[in-house]
Structure 1
Amino acid sequence: MKLLIGTGGYTNDDWLGLIYPEGTKQGDYLGIYSRYFNAVEVNSSFYAIPGEKAFAGMLRKTDGKTMFTVKLNKVFTHERSYTEDDVQRMILSPKPIREAEMLGPFLAQFPYSFKRTPEHRKYLQHLVMAFEGHPLAVEFRHASWLKEEVLEAFKELGLIWVSADYPPMEGLPPYQVQASSKTVYIRLHGRNKETWWEGQSASDRHDYRYNEEEIQDIADQIAAIKDVDTVYLFFQNTTKGHALFNYQTLKDALKQHDLVVDIPKGSGLF
């Protein structure tokens, strides 16, 4: 089982003084990031689809040793008004990373308002068809999708179910690792109930540092996964460096199960 662990995005100014030396320019963040993590989730594509040159630059900065997953643009998941041109741009833009065999799944992160209704089920079917032939991981934020028949459909279609950890609140799906394919995709958002709905930004919602017991439970669930080739895990609680500290704790917890996170460019120690 290959463990690919990183964070949602890497342009975090509050990491200055933690892993980014003070004064580091944003253009140099990814190169430093790749010394510690062997995977990265590109979130900027949600707002604007990067061009091939941008992805080529990302690949170059990581020396071609960091796996990438790419979030679908908001036109696919939130606005739900994509065109065929949008599909082609989304698929073709990461060409340099794909050719280097460092491209993982595309990530479709749907909002809480995307409940399991006949209309939304039909929309999802069309989206899956649009990305046929390309690995697609799907995150649902509404608990109505967590049904056995949905998981079975994912297995039949080869879709990757995103096992997401949210605050324990009504309407949000509970955290449990689901393997709908040979690839498992985990996103850890934190459990800050006070700011999940009231927060003014993603940073507010993700202002949470997991304690050792919580991280141990996450490691135990990963170790219990059977018949899986690859596990992607991305910390979303990047604010205030929470993800950095939780990452180190997780690596230590995984070692107890003889699971090692391979960091090609260095020790990965902070």
Structure 2
Amino acid sequence: MPFESDHRIYYLGTSGWSHRDWVGKLYPLDMPFSDYLETYARHFPAVEIEHTFYDIPAPQAVRAWYRRSPDGFQFCPCLPRRITHELRLRDTDRDLTDFISAITGLQEKLGPILLQLPENFRVNEQPQLAAFLDTLPQDMQFAIEFRHGSWLKDSTYGLLNAHRLAWVVVDAPFLPRTPRVTADAAYVRWHGHPGIGQRTRHETDPAASLRPWVAVLRDLARQAERVYGFVRNSYSGYAPRDGTVLMELLGEAREKGH
């Protein structure tokens, strides 16, 4: 079930669930790999599927994900990089059809599908992006992450609004934090910053760095029906830790009436 605060719905989690660094933290040392997803889903209501960025999953794998997750759980698969990075959104009909066919096995547990654009995909390619968006199934949700500042303009937001595509709010070095709602769902990704060493994160207070995001999430929730958010700092179990802290902070804000 989603995390709820003040009657607003949040699907928070991490990017992926099978990181080996999480063994001994989120997962017991002797736990079989096949039990990871079921254990993960006891802590979080949603997950971003990184695997699909690299390869289209086999139908039997998708059915297993569905079977091993509880009712109300949400999967947000990444669109394959062949479509976004290799083909750069051109001549994608066959690959897109194959991908959609595979992930429909998630049924009602399918959340927004994430399009991650390359860093060198700039606003001068907006006509190609618009043509690609016209090919997307209308009965599915999509979110898009831009990685170049040239997209920070009203014409971009208008394009996403017209296609009901969620703008991805990022905590990352490649774009400033830009909270926008362009669809029924809002979408946030916490990438982390190179200035904060992955291997020294345990020395910092995660609540201190994440607390400013509570107001952002609540503001997004006032404008959207649902808010999805995923932490990507997978090293040494920090992603599940930070995801848990976010939900705790949202819960505290609810109790204080903020």
Establish whether TM, by shorter chain, passes 0.5: yes
**Equivalent in 174, 177, 198 of residue 175 of structure 1:** 177
Structure 1 counterpart of 2:73, from 57, 60, 66: 66
Report the AA paired with residue 189 of structure 2.
R
Q: CA offset at residue 90 of structure 1?
A: 1.1
Counterpart of 2:3 in structure 1 is: none
1:161 equivalenced with 2:167 (yes/no): yes
Which ranges in structure 1 are unaligned for 5 or more consecutive residues?
Answer: 196-202, 260-270
Matched, 1:127 2:127: no
1:208 shift after superposition: 10
Distance 1:71 1:219, change over 3 A: same
Deviations 1:211-249 (A, max 9, x none): 323211011111223231100000011111111221222
Q: 1:208 to 1:123 in 2, by over 3 A?
A: farther
The alignment status of 1:222 with 2:217, answered yes or no, reads yes
Identical-pair percentage: 28
Q: Which of these residues, 33, 37, 54, is aligned with residue 30 of structure 1?
A: 37
The residue number in structure 2 matching 1:104 is 111
Mean Cα displacement is larger for which, 84-93 or 35-44?
Answer: 84-93
* Counterpart selection for 1:249 from 236, 245, 251: 245
Identify the residue that residue 88 of structure 1 maps to in structure 2: 97
SS at 2:27 equivalent: coil
1:192 is aligned to 2:194:
yes
TM-score normalised over the length of structure 1: 0.83
Distance 2:204 2:186 in 1: 23
How big is each residue's C-alpha offset from its partner over 1:57-76, in whole Å with a ceiling of 9 and x where there is no partner? 00111134420111000111
**Paired residue total:** 243
**Within 1, Cα distance between the matches of 2:110 and 2:132?**
20
What letter matches 1:8 in structure 2?
A: S
Contact 1:110 1:139 in 2 (8 A): yes
**For the Cα contact (< 8 Å) 1:65–1:102, is it kept in 2?**
yes
1:129 maps to amino acid: D
1:8–1:43 contact (8 Å) kept in structure 2: yes
Cα distance in 2 for residues equivalent to 1:63 and 1:254: 23
Q: CA RMSD in A?
A: 2.2
**Maintained 8 Å contact 1:192/1:208:** no
Q: Hey, what does 1:143 align to over in structure 2?
A: 149
Letter in 2 for 1:245: R
Q: 1:160 to 1:67 in 2, by over 3 A?
A: same
Q: Which residue of 1 aligns with 2:228?
A: 232
Report the alpha carbon displacement of residue 153 of structure 1 after superposing the two structures with TM: 2.2
* CA positional deviation for 1:37: 0.7
Which range moved further: 183-192 or 20-29? 20-29
Cα separation, 2, equivalents of 1:106 and 1:45: 10
Contact residue 186 and residue 228 of structure 2 kept, 8 A:
yes
- Segments of structure 2 that go 5 or more residues without pairing to the other structure are 1-7
Q: Distance in 1 between matches of 2:203 and 2:118?
A: 20
Shift of 1:176: 2.8
Contact 1:190 1:207 in 2 (8 A): no
Task: Report the AA paired with residue 131 of structure 2.
Answer: H
Query: Deviation digits for residues 142-171 of structure 1, max 9, x if unmatched?
Result: 11111122112211221110111103xxxx
User: Contact 1:207 / 1:237 at 8 angstroms: preserved in 2?
Assistant: no
Structure ranking higher in helix proportion? 2
Q: Tell whether 2:9 aligns with 1:2.
A: yes
